[in-house]
């Protein structure tokens, strides 16, 4: 008799759906007195957070919200933003954390496209929400979040988050481990919109299983241990904070919330709360590197940073390492719940190398994290993997449980993204013999000059090494002879020795092949998205304007 014919069936004793909601229950059951959220003078422990999430879930249910209903939120990194990552899925709903740096019309599109039944609005973003709601013929109900430390914006609507909480009910944690879990772990838990540069953003749908697994993957790949102190420099609206609200329930850590990411606020929070971990795009690291020695001196303990969002120049990684902040480089997309690869460090192989060589290795995007099943660099047409020679470019592709369900109401885009049974990232990379990948460009950002492919990231990496250059970005500029040529945009370090265009080009000539040299250099502050990525589409427009 086959083992599959012996009556060994799935039942409530041997199977429960995977959901990050269970991580909250465990934290509250075992560590109810441990701090969960710290925001200014406000401290909530895990027992209190669980009770508040229960009350919110109960209140939403009483108001008729249930399975599959979308609850949207416009908020900075606040305790309420943290709580709704659990409360909304506890009642079966889908959380839509909206990028509060978008324009009102785009916010209105997201609310309508995602069919939000309720909108929670942090006081600071009351004006934005008010302008967005004015575009809608059937706006959702609104509840405001009143932070006494926020001195800008205004409260929207007559009802507060605390009023809503008061309507709900809570109970002791109890032994029922299945309470609040979804019937099906494939059920949607979150809706996140891509920050596309053209057209309307696409709605990326996450499921409970993927959120759970990526949350655990974060803890495993970063070796976080129990009770880390995590500083929220990464916006929680961005891929649900890369799933870290749920990770911090897994290891019963403390979330230190920051409303604004400034160098003084970051260093002061690190020193006061003995922060152990934080995440941020390379632009955040660059800001911290440029801070005064007085601020840097506030941190005398070991801190770890996880960076992603844009390929970090080796010079930034080397600078953070020199400051005593250990850098873990990860990579992912909105469609993969945030980071799903990491540059896993091999101390046995690389520990004896000099700092510059180590930084070059850490600048690679690395290998798949523990919960990503498949990672490859392949030709998008043939789906054949490229040679692992560190030179041949192909598209980065992933597969596994921490890849999105798909794009909401967009089957065509979903099918294109999953062509050939892999998720197509749109990022071009090379694959090294040791299996590590390195992003060379977005497929739309590669520069093709005279038939040669030029990586804008390679040129940017060289520019970042110049002592007088704080930031750099390179885009294609049309050229009658070559088709395209590189155009560099640089921001100089404050009080640095002035540079002119030819000096920058000459510096690049010392480090790059001639055909890769920028043919034009523009000095300016770089435009960025709300997540710290340089808006290359805006730079392309400026570059093309140089031809007129």
DSSP string, 361-424: HHTS-BEE-TT--EEEEE-TTT-PBPPSSSS-EEEEEEESTTS-SEETT-HHHHHHHTGGGSEE
pLDDT tens-place string over residues 288-332: 999 999 999 999 999 999 998 766 788 889 999 999 999 999 999
Residue by residue, DSSP assigns 459-474 as HHHHHHTSTTEEEEEE
* Region 446-453 average pLDDT: 75
With bands split at pLDDT 50, 70 and 90, how would you rate the model's confidence at 101?
A: confident
Give the model's pLDDT for residue 194: 87
pLDDT value, residue 110: 96
Residue 476 pLDDT > 80: yes
Average pLDDT score over the chain: 93
Q: What is the pLDDT of residue 108?
A: 97
User: Which tens digits make up the pLDDT trace of 191-214?
Assistant: 999 865 446 789 999 999 999 999
| pLDDT grade for 30, boundaries at 50, 70 and 90 | very high
User: The tokens of 19 are what?
Assistant: 């959901």
Percent of the chain, pLDDT > 90? 79
Does position 453 have pLDDT exceeding 80, yes or no? Answer: no
Q: What pLDDT score does 449 carry? A: 84
Distance CA 383, CA 336 (A): 20
Helix (H) / strand (E) element for 125: namely none
The CA-CA-CA angle for residues 356, 343, 460, to 5°, reads 55
25, pLDDT greater than 80: yes
CB atoms within 10 A of CB 71: 26
Position 444 confidence tier, pLDDT thresholds 50, 70, 90: confident
Note the CATH number of domain 447-545: 3.30.300.30
Contact 112, 137 (CB under 8 A): no
Q: 233-242, 390-399, 535-544: lowest mean pLDDT where?
A: 535-544
Instruction: For residue 530, name the pLDDT band (cuts at 50, 70, 90).
Output: low
- Residue 443 in tokens: 């497929």
Of residues 8 and 530, the one with the higher pLDDT is: 8
Q: What is the pLDDT of residue 3?
A: 65
**Cβ neighbours for 158, distance < 8 A, ≥ 6 positions apart:** none
pLDDT of residue 472: 94
Rounded distance between C-alpha atoms, residue 426 and residue 136, angstroms: 33
The helix/strand/coil state of 50 is: helix
Per-residue pLDDT at 441: 77
Q: What tokens were used for 25?
A: 């229950």
Query: Over 50: is that where the pLDDT of 491 sits?
Result: yes
DSSP, residue by residue, 67-106: TT-EEEEE-SS-HHHHHHHHHHHHTT-EEEE--TTS-HHH
How does pLDDT run across 108-145, given as a tens digit for each residue?
Answer: 999 999 999 999 999 999 999 999 999 999 999 999 99
Residues of 273-305 as b/e, b for ≥16 C-beta within 10 angstroms? eebbbbbbbbbbbbbbbebeeebbeebeeebbb
In this prediction, residue 400 carries a pLDDT of: 97
Residue 457 burial (CB < 10 Å; 0-12/13-18/19+)? Answer: buried
On the question of pLDDT at 481 being above 90, the answer is no
Q: Which residue has the higher pLDDT, 428 or 3?
A: 428
Q: How far is CA 122 from the centre of its chain?
A: 21
**Is the backbone of residue 274 left (phi > 0), alpha (psi -120 to 50) or beta?**
left
Q: Is the pLDDT of residue 443 over 80?
A: no
At residue 1 the predicted structure's pLDDT band, cuts being 50, 70 and 90, is: low
Q: What is the pLDDT of residue 440?
A: 86
Determine the length of the chain.
548
DSSP-assigned beta bridge partners for residue 430? 393, 438
Mean pLDDT throughout 455-473? 90
pLDDT band at 519 (very low <50, low <70, confident <90, very high): very high
Rounded mean pLDDT, 394-419? 97
Across 396-418, average pLDDT:
97
**174: how many CB neighbours lie within 10 A of its CB?**
9
Tokens matching residue 195: 């920050």
Strands 406-407, 447-449: pairing is: unpaired
Average pLDDT over residues 81-86: 98
pLDDT of residue 315: 87
Angle (nearest 5°) at CA 149 between 145 and 150: 60
Does position 362 have pLDDT exceeding 50, yes or no? yes
Residue recorded with tokens 């013999």:
433
| Helix H or strand E encompassing 427 | strand 423-431
Q: What is the pLDDT of residue 195?
A: 64
Residue 235 CA to residue 282 CA, distance in Å, equals 14
- Residue 455's pLDDT is what? 80
Rounded average pLDDT over 335-348: 96
pLDDT reported for residue 198: 46
- Distance from C-alpha of 347 to C-alpha of 186, rounded to nearest angstrom: 38
Residue 327 confidence (pLDDT): 93
Residue 142, CA distances (Å) to 99, 128, 261 in order: 17, 13, 27
pLDDT at residue 197 in the model: 43
Nearest Cα neighbor of 537 from 442, 453, 449, 455 is 442
User: Which residue has tokens 């709903």?
Assistant: 93
pLDDT, tens digit, for every residue of 372-385? 999 999 999 999 99
Mean pLDDT over 266-280 rounds to: 97
Among residues 153, 152, 150, 126, the alpha carbon closest in space to that of 142 is found at 126
**Cα–Cα dist 365/248, whole Å:** 24
Confidence of residue 58 (pLDDT cuts 50, 70, 90): very high
């Amino acid at each position: 008799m086959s083992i599959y014919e012996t009556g060994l069936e799935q039942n409530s004793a041997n199977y429960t759906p995977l959901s990050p909601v269970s991580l909250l229950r465990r934290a509250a059951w075992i560590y109810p007195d441990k701090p969960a959220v710290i925001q200014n003078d406000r401290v909530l422990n895990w027992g209190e957070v669980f009770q508040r999430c229960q009350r919110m879930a109960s209140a939403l249910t009483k108001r008729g919200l249930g399975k599959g209903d979308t609850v949207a939120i416009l908020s900075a990194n606040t305790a309420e933003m943290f709580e709704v990552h659990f409360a909304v899925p506890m009642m079966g709903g889908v959380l839509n954390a909206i990028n509060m740096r978008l324009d009102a019309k785009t916010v209105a599109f997201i609310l309508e496209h995602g069919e939000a039944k309720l909108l929670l609005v942090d006081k600071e973003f009351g004006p934005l929400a008010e302008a967005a709601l004015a575009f809608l013929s059937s706006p959702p109900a609104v509840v405001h979040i009143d932070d006494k430390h926020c001195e800008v914006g205004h409260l929207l609507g007559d009802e507060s988050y605390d009023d809503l909480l008061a309507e709900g009910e809570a109970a002791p944690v109890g032994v029922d481990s299945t309470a609040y879990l979804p019937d099906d772990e494939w059920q949607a838990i979150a809706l996140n919109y891509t920050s596309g540069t053209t057209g309307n953003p696409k709605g990326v749908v996450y499921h409970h299983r993927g959120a759970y697994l990526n949350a655990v993957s974060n803890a495993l790949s970063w070796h976080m241990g129990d009770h880390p102190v995590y500083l929220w420099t990464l916006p929680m609206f961005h891929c649900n904070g890369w799933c870290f609200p749920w990770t911090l329930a897994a290891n019963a850590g403390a979330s230190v919330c920051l409303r604004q990411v400034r160098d003084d606020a970051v260093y002061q929070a690190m020193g006061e709360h003995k922060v152990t971990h934080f995440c941020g795009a390379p632009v955040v690291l660059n800001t911290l590197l440029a801070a005064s020695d007085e601020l840097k001196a506030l941190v005398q303990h070991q801190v770890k940073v996880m960076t992603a969002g844009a390929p970090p120049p080796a010079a930034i990684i080397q600078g953070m390492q020199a400051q005593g902040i250990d850098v873990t480089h990860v990579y992912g997309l909105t469609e993969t719940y945030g980071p799903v690869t990491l540059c896993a460090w091999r101390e046995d192989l690389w520990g004896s190398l000099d700092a510059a060589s180590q930084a070059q290795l850490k600048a690679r995007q690395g290998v798949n994290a523990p919960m990503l099943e498949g990672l490859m660099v392949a030709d998008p047409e043939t789906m054949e993997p490229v040679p692992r020679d560190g030179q041949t470019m192909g598209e980065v592709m992933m597969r596994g449980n921490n890849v999105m369900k798909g794009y909401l109401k967009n089957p065509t885009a979903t099918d294109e993204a999953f062509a050939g049974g892999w998720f197509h990232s749109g990022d071009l990379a090379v694959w090294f013999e040791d299996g590590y990948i390195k992003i060379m460009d977005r497929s739309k950002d590669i520069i093709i000059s005279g038939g040669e492919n030029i990586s804008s990231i390679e040129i940017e990496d060289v520019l970042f090494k110049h002592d007088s250059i704080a930031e750099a970005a390179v885009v294609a500029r049309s050229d009658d002879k070559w088709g395209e040529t590189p155009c560099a945009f640089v921001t100089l370090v404050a009080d640095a020795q002035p540079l002119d265009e030819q000096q920058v080009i000459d510096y690049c000539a010392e480090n790059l092949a001639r055909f890769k040299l920028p043919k034009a250099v523009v000095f300016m502050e770089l435009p960025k998205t709300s997540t710290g990525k340089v808006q290359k589409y805006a730079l392309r427009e400026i570059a093309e304007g140089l031809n007129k």
